Each structure stands twice: as C-alpha cells, then as structure tokens.
Amino acid sequence: MLKPALLILICLTLLGLSIRLFYNGLRQTGIDRTLGRLMQGQPQLTVAKSSWAGLERAFLRAGLGRPTERLGLWLLLWALGILLGFALASWIGLLALLLMPPLALRLYISWCYQRRLKRMIEQLPSLLDHTVRSLKSGRTLADAVLVAIDAAEAPLKNAMGRVQRNVHLGVSLPDAVTDFAELYEKDEFRLFALGLKVNHRYGGNASELFENLIKMIRERDQAARQLRAMTGETRITAVVLALMPVGLAAYFLLSNPKYLLAMWNSSSGQMMLATAFGLQVVGCLALWRMLRSV
C-alpha cells in the first residue's frame, strides 16, 4: 500500500510542478526577455553573499551558470527520486539515491572545471602575446589587457569578462585580475596578477615581464606533458584496480545470475552488497585523489 501511495504522490507533485512552470512561462513577457538580453555582459551590482556561496562559486568556475536560479526545482526532483528509490528498492534504493546524485554532481563539476581551466591556461599565452604587441604599439597597460581580453576566445574571454566588469565599475586592473586569479586558484593567473601589481606599484618593462611569463607557462606545460607520459603506467594501473570489482560483479551477474540475486533477496546479502558498493566508492575516490597528486 505504501509503494502505490508514494508513486501517486510523485505523479501529482510532478503534475503540479509542470503546471506551475507552464504558468510562469506564460507570465514572462517579451519585455523581460529583451531586457535580459540587453543586460548580458553589462556591469552588475555587487550583491551580498548567500548561504549557497560555495555552490555558486563552484558552478561559476566550471562555467555552468548560477545554480540558485533552479535550485528549488533540482532539490524537489532529488527528493522525489529518493522517494521513488525507497518505493522500488526499499532502504537500499533510498540510500543509493541519497548519496549518488551529490557525488555525481561533485564529480561532474570538478570535471567541467578542470577541462575549462586547462583550456584557459592554453589560451593565456595568446592573450599575453596580444597584450605585449599592444604595449609595443603604444597602448597603456590597462588598455592593452582589456583589448587582449576582447580578442581572446572562449572560455578565457567569458571568464575574464569578470575582470572587464570590475574595471568598468572602478576597480583597478591589478585588483580585478587578483580577484580573478583567486577565484580560479591557478598559479599562472596568480603570476599574471602579481606581475600587474608589481608593474602598477613600482613600474618597469611590462612587455619583458609578460614575455618571460609566456615562456614560463609554455615550459610548465611541456613539463606537465612529460610527467603525464612518464606516469601513464601508474594511471592505467589505478583504472584497472578501480574497474576490476565492477567487472567481476558484471561477470558473475551474466554467468550465474542466481548467485547475486540470492544475496539481493536476503537482508544480510543486501547489507553485504551495500557495504561492497560503499567500499568501492571509497576506493575509487582514494585512487582518484592519488592520481591527482601524481
């Protein structure tokens, strides 16, 4: 009786949610959409930090937008998924759907952030080179950096739009780049910000400074590629160790399904399978952390 009631509750909740979203879409006028498009890329007022500041920071660094705009919807769907898991697989399903979505979201955000950051580091020498050429043509340092940002490609251009907005709001260029570097927590960006700060305070040849920074970034990238090639065997070993338990479980399920199904149908077997799953997740996370340190 409990499972049909939960399914009915989930269906009614989804129906009400769809009606509400449809009603909100009808209420949104063309003027609001036009104003939204006109405000894109314009300086935004600084707002107070919310309780979801850490989540917003993670989404911003990964280039996924603002999560708080639809946070209530995602939390509601997560709660419905937990109820559905409980209805279909009792406490095992509830526990799985309680832990797996946050873990999957965390891994997806980290993957998007690392991929985006790698692409930005690859584009940074081109931006610095464009800045050097602008300086040699007679532009000021601030104008040269802003023009180089306009000429850059995504995702670096979109990310450094934060610097442009801060400068337009009256923040000095070194402080704006320092804020950008602290957001993405990368040494190359911090060195860029430090160079701007030193040049702003003490003066000097900014062109030579940026040329040396370009050389250093390219040398670090070459060294990282060499290290990745040298540690390829270690990374493959870690992947094999992570996939071996999953492969063995799949083999047993295909060759002798009754072996695992008998465990699933007993309470002690379910506890053993849940424990094995938890240990597998912990082991994969440990191997992932070890690979990141290589």
Boundary of a domain, candidates 229, 244, 267: 229
Name the average pLDDT for the chain. Answer: 78
146 and 214 in a single domain? The answer is yes
Please give the pLDDT value at position 50: 47
Question: What is the reported pLDDT for 287?
Answer: 76
- Asked whether the predicted pLDDT for residue 9 surpasses 70, the reply is no
Q: Is the pLDDT of residue 31 over 70?
A: no
Residue at token pair 């060195």: 191
d(CA 118, CA 224): 12
Under the banding of pLDDT at 50, 70 and 90, the label for residue 3 is: low
C-alpha torsion 238→242→244→250, nearest 10: -150
- How many Å apart are CA 238 and CA 286, to the nearest integer? 10
Q: Is residue 196 part of a domain?
A: yes
235-244: long-range pairs with CB below 8 Å, 24+: 235/291, 235/294, 238/287, 238/290, 238/291, 241/283, 241/287, 242/283, 242/284, 242/287
The separation between the first and the last C-alpha atoms of the chain, rounded to the nearest angstrom, is 53
Whether 29 shows a pLDDT value over 60: the answer reads no
Which pLDDT score, from 0 to 100, does residue 8 have?
A: 66
Q: Is residue 198 part of a domain?
A: yes
Residues 218 and 249 in one domain: no
| Alpha carbons 11 and 17: distance in angstroms, whole number | 10
User: Sign of dihedral through CA atoms 55, 56, 57, 63?
Assistant: positive
Q: Are residues 211 and 120 in the same domain?
A: yes
pLDDT at 105 over 60: yes
Asked if 142 and 169 sit in the same domain, the reply is yes
pLDDT at 293 over 80: no
Same domain, 154 and 210: yes
Q: Is residue 220 part of a domain?
A: yes
pTM of the model: 0.62
pLDDT in tens, 114-155: 899 889 888 888 998 998 898 888 888 888 888 898 888 888
Kindly state the helix (H) or strand (E) to which residue 25 belongs, with its residue range.
Answer: helix 2-27
For residue 215, give its domain range: 116-229
Taking CA atoms, 212 is separated from 80, 154, 204, 233, in Å, by 55, 24, 14, 34
Label residue 43 by pLDDT band (50, 70, 90): very low
Q: Is residue 216 domain-shared with residue 197, that is, in the same domain?
A: yes
Residue 42 has pLDDT above 50, yes or no: no
Lowest mean pLDDT among 25-29, 109-113, 152-156, 246-250: 25-29
**198 shares its domain with 165:** yes
Residue 180 is part of a domain; what is its CATH number? 1.20.81
Average pLDDT estimate for 39-55: 51
Whether 44 has a pLDDT exceeding 50, the answer reads no
- CA–CA separation, 212 and 230 (whole Å): 27
Contacts (Cβ under 8 Å, ≥6 apart) of 76: 13, 17
> Is 157 in the same domain as 198?
yes
Under the banding of pLDDT at 50, 70 and 90, the label for residue 63 is confident
153/177 same-domain check: yes
Closest CA to 292 of 246, 234, 226: 234
* Residue 128 CB burial class (10 angstroms; 0-12, 13-18, ≥19): buried
Residue 35 pLDDT exceeds 60:
no
Instruction: Look at residue 26 in the predicted model and tell me its pLDDT.
Output: 63
Residue 202 CB burial class (10 angstroms; 0-12, 13-18, ≥19): exposed
Calculate the dihedral angle through the C-alpha atoms of 137, 141, 143, 147, rounding to the nearest 10 degrees: 70
Q: What is the pLDDT of residues 176-235, one digit of tens each?
A: 988 898 888 888 888 888 888 888 888 778 888 888 888 988 888 888 888 778 777 777
Among residues 184, 208, 229, which one ends one of the domains?
A: 229
- Please state the domain count of the chain: 2
Position 44 in a domain: no
197 and 241 within one domain = no
| In the predicted structure, residue 40 carries a pLDDT above the cut 60 | no
How far is it, in rounded angstroms, from Cα 193 to Cα 180?
Answer: 9
131 lies in the same domain as 222: yes
Task: Indicate if the pLDDT at residue 82 is higher than 80.
Answer: no
Write down which residue in 229, 259, 285 finishes a domain. Answer: 229
What is the token pair recorded at 209?
């400074």
Residues 72-90, mean pLDDT to the nearest whole number: 75
Write the DSSP symbol of residue 266.
S
Lowest mean pLDDT among 13-22, 135-144, 145-154, 237-246: 13-22
Within this chain, do residues 163 and 256 fall inside the same structural domain, yes or no? no
- Average the pLDDT over 49-63 and give the result: 70
